Each structure stands twice: as structure tokens, then as C-alpha cells.
Amino acid sequence: MKALIKKNAYIWATDYFRTAIGAEFKQWLKDNEGKWIDIETDCLFDNQYNTEKYRIYDSMIDAISDDARINKGKCKYCGTMVNAGETCEKYADCKDYGIDWFTPTNTYFLKYPNGAKNIQHDYISCRTGYQKFGTYHLEAFKDLDYYRISNCKKTINFKFDGEKYYIHNGIGYTEKSFLDIPYSIRGKVLAKLQELQKEIQ
């Protein structure tokens, strides 16, 4: 299993690793931009990955190859990895708790192993010519590969595949059917996003 480190991935590390070790981690991300990194598969997660030296997150990668999570899950009680059709019997309580399976719904890179299509615009912003939606501004960033909608009270960073939104939480992505913005502008924002998607297809 390998992960492709995203360009500018170190930006996401800024807020979480404000230590000497964090500085080393940021440099490691810079040094490995655009490179495939080996992922340890003894213990797997839906939005983060153990490398030989550091733990990285969905937000820091562009793609996954040979995903070891396919047809696998984790015991909800003890965390033991199991294959499809198996149950965990490590402890007496394991069967009662069941298995958390890795699925395309809860594991972003199972659904999009090559990532959602990168936004092709250098920079798009309502502030520089695009329509403003109520108090919100919609922007797109090519290098960071996400959209942002924000006003003075709220900022939402997300990916969009033409139907679903993948909300960035600093570590990974949560699939949503709609953005948490006023209902009165949701349709207008969706129409604009679909228009932008057509431009890059």
C-alpha cells in the first residue's frame, strides 16, 4: 500500500505540529511532495496512515495505490483487523461490539483512489468577479485542491465531485449531501459548483 504525497501538504501540518518534531515533519512532507510513500498495514484507519516515520492524513495525500483496506474492517472493541466475512474473537466482548468496515462511504480514498479531479483554475473567487451568495464567498484553490465557502462567521473547506461534498476537518473528509449554509443559497452555490465542474471535465 502506498500514498502519494500532495503538493503543499506541509501547509496542513502548520496548525497541528508547532514543535521541533513538527518542523521536521513539515520538512519531510516538502521533501516527499509528489512521491509515493510506503504505508504500514498492520493497523489501518479510514482517514490516516502510518509511515515508517510519521502519521499522515487524507488531507496530505493525492492518491492511494494497492489499498489494503479493501474488504477489511476493524473490531470496534479491540481494533483488530479482520477480513470480509470474519468476526473478531480476540476478547469475549468483541462479538458484541461488531466490526467497523472500510467502505467507499466512510473511507474517501476507497471511493476515489486517485483523488477527486484537481481543480484546474489557478484561483477562482467571488471577490474577483464571481457571484456572491448572500454573505458568503466561494473560492477554489488549485494547489490545495479544494473549494472554500466562507463569511465572517464560518469557513468550510471541501471537495466536490458533482454530487457529493467532502468536508475537510483538518485530518480527512466527511461525505455530506449538502453544505451547512443557509437553505436559501444552497441551490445557487450548487449550480455554480456544477458549472465549475463542467469546465474541468
DSSP, collapsed to helix, strand or coil, labels residue 28 as: helix
24 and 88 in a single domain? The answer is no
Query: Is 79 part of a structural domain of the chain?
Result: yes
190 and 147 in a single domain? The answer is yes
61 and 80 in a single domain? The answer is no
127 and 194 in a single domain? The answer is yes
158 and 196 in a single domain? The answer is yes
How many folded domains does the chain comprise?
A: 3
Q: How confident is the model at residue 150 (pLDDT cuts 50, 70, 90)?
A: confident
26 and 86 in a single domain? The answer is no
Q: Return left, alpha or beta for 130; rule: phi > 0 is left, psi -120 to 50 is alpha, else beta.
A: beta
Average pLDDT over residues 184-197: 87
23 and 82 in a single domain? The answer is no
168 and 138 in a single domain? The answer is yes
Statement: the pTM of the whole predicted model exceeds 0.75: no
45 and 75 in a single domain? The answer is no
Q: pLDDT, tens digit, for every residue of 58-75? A: 988 999 999 999 999 999
Question: Is 96 buried (19+), middle (13-18) or exposed (0-12) by CB count in 10 A?
Answer: exposed
Q: Is the pLDDT of residue 112 over 80?
A: yes
139 and 194 in a single domain? The answer is yes
Query: Is 112 part of a structural domain of the chain?
Result: no
What domain range is 137 assigned to? Answer: 123-200
Q: Is the pLDDT of residue 17 over 60?
A: no
